[in-house]
């Protein structure tokens, strides 16, 4: 027996247009005109943009047999992105003229939920294995692009401060070149929230071909990069793949980096303190020299 085909939201709107009330038609007309923008809105903002009421938006959803406003947006995402996976719905629910107090509460609350989920997602054994891989590697090569590249750069700075050999570049072609020449004695660490970036998957394949250990840091899903990795670190799937910009995912990734850094410091506390103090002394002298030069020039 074949399953019933689930139609997108735009099909349902066009099929049942004549059954909608005048206020519901205002909502429907806006959705048909601006389907991509609609995906970003709350009920309140959609009612404002369409010149209707919040009650009309709720009735509109019920009239078209959508179980909820979220279900309506999931079906609409199928039309806009040709995919009915909820990860492709924009993560932000935007409203115009939102107060600063409301934004503060919303964003902080989102991060609190995300950190709680991160604590449940991380496996201590995987973290220990990752630390061991990095500490014993001849060189640790870091990989990441976009927001994940920012996280990789942060980790590079931390490893340098501990005196550990590390390589990272923002240049994607150079990352792929490094992956193709990696040695079995090296450790590779690829950061990609989706785990499906084509360049990062190609880098992972090159790393595996050269028999180097591979650590991945991805969202908690059965993604390609995670499946290729020897050591799998994950952050919660707190953001959908189509989003305005990484926020909780990036913060979670940075938290994992801080956890790894703290673990590495604790494994060799005396040497770590010495290395940190040495780098602090050098940068402090450099800053003081720069200040003196500027005062005398």
Q: For all residues of the chain together, what is the average pLDDT?
A: 85
Question: Is residue 15 situated within a structural domain?
Answer: yes
- Report d(CA 242, CA 259) in Å as an integer: 27
Q: Which residues pair with 231 in a beta bridge?
A: 215
Give mean pLDDT, residues 185-212: 96
Question: Is residue 98 situated within a structural domain?
Answer: no
Do 171 and 221 lie in one domain? The reply is yes
Q: What is the pLDDT of residue 8?
A: 83
Query: Does residue 1 carry a pLDDT above 60?
Result: no
Q: Give the CATH number for residue 70.
A: 1.10.10.10
Q: What is the pLDDT of residue 174?
A: 97
State the Rg of the chain over Cα: 25
Query: Does residue 285 carry a pLDDT above 70?
Result: no
**Per-residue pLDDT tens over the stretch 41-73:** 889 999 999 999 999 999 999 999 998 898 898
Do 52 and 143 lie in one domain? The reply is no
* Higher per-residue confidence, 203 vs 90: 203
CB distance 279 to 160 below 8 Å: yes
**Per-residue pLDDT tens over the stretch 5-17:** 557 899 999 999 9
Give mean pLDDT, residues 213-236: 95
Q: What is the pLDDT of residue 286?
A: 53
- Report d(CA 44, CA 52) in Å as an integer: 10
Do 81 and 124 lie in one domain? The reply is no
Q: What is the pLDDT of residue 169?
A: 97
Question: Is residue 53 situated within a structural domain?
Answer: yes
CB distance 247 to 239 below 8 Å: yes
Do 48 and 139 lie in one domain? The reply is no
Q: What is the pLDDT of residue 54?
A: 94
Give mean pLDDT, residues 239-262: 76
Q: What is the pLDDT of residue 297?
A: 54
Its domain, for residue 266, covers 111-285
């Amino acid at each position: 027996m074949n399953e019933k085909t689930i139609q997108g939201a735009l099909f349902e709107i066009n099929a049942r247009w004549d059954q909608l009330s005048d206020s519901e038609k205002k909502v429907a007309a806006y959705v048909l005109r601006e389907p991509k923008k609609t995906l970003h809105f709350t009920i309140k903002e959609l009612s404002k943009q369409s010149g209707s009421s919040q009650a009309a938006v709720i009735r509109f959803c019920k009239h078209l047999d959508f179980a909820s406003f979220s279900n309506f947006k999931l079906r609409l995402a199928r039309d806009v992105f040709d995919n009915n996976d909820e990860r492709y719905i924009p993560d932000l629910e935007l409203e115009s003229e939102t107060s600063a107090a409301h934004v503060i509460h919303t964003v902080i609350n989102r991060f609190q939920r995300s950190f709680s989920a991160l604590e449940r997602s991380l496996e201590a054994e995987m973290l220990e294995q990752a630390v061991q891989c990095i500490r014993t590697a001849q060189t640790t090569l870091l990989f990441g692009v976009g927001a994940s590249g920012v996280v990789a750069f942060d980790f590079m700075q931390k490893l340098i401060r501990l005196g550990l050999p590390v390589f990272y570049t923002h240049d994607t072609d150079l990352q792929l070149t490094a992956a193709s020449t990696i040695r079995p004695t090296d450790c590779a660490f690829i950061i990609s929230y989706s785990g499906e970036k084509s360049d990062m998957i190609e880098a992972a394949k090159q790393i595996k071909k050269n028999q180097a250990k591979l650590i991945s840091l991805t969202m908690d899903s059965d993604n390609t990069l995670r499946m290729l990795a020897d050591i799998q670190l994950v952050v919660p799937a707190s953001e959908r793949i189509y989003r305005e910009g990484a926020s909780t995912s990036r913060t979670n990734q940075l938290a994992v980096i801080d956890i790894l850094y703290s673990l590495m410091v604790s494994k060799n506390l005396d040497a770590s303190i010495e290395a940190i103090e040495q780098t602090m002394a050098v940068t402090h002298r450099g800053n003081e020299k720069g200040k003196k030069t500027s005062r005398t020039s």
